[in-house]
Structure formats: C-alpha cells, structure tokens
Amino acid sequence: RLVREGGGADPGITLIEDLHWMDGGSLAFLEQWVEAIGGARGLLLVNFRPEYHAEWMRKSYYQQL
C-alpha cells in the first residue's frame, strides 16, 4: 500500500543492491514491490550479477540500463 499510494507529493527512489544474494523471503517481498510499483510514481533501482533472472524482468515497465 505504501508503494502504491506514495510516501508524499514527490516520487521516491529506492536502491536495492546485490539481488543475487537475497534470501527467499526478501525475494518474495521484492516481487510484491515490483507488482505494486508499476502504477506508482517512483523508481526502484536494483543491481545484480549477469546470471540473475526473475519473472518481473518481463514487465513492460522494467528497463535494464
């Protein structure tokens, strides 16, 4: 709910590093976050090793830099 409704008037930026080291519970939380952020004003910036892959990378709003 926090992601969808925003934390205020300005969009937020969240950085999560080293996704390849995340445990299962953290990955499940991240998947829910990615689902929620699609219609929100904000940026979720993550980094990971090249061999890391997740289903949410197929979302239309996902972009790899």
Can you spell out the DSSP letters for 7-64?
A: SSSS-EEEEE--GGG--HHHHHHHHHHHHHHTTSSEEEEE---TT---GGGGSTT---
pLDDT at 3: 56
pLDDT at 46: 95
pLDDT at 22: 95
Going from N- to C-terminal start, the domains of the chain cover 2-58
Q: Are 44 and 14 in contact (CB under 8 A)?
A: yes
pLDDT at 5: 57
Q: Residues in the chain with pLDDT < 50? A: none
Torsion of CA 39, 11, 21, 61, to 10 degrees: 30
Residue whose entry in the numeric block shows the structure tokens 């090249």: 50
Is the whole model's pTM more than 0.85, yes or no?
no
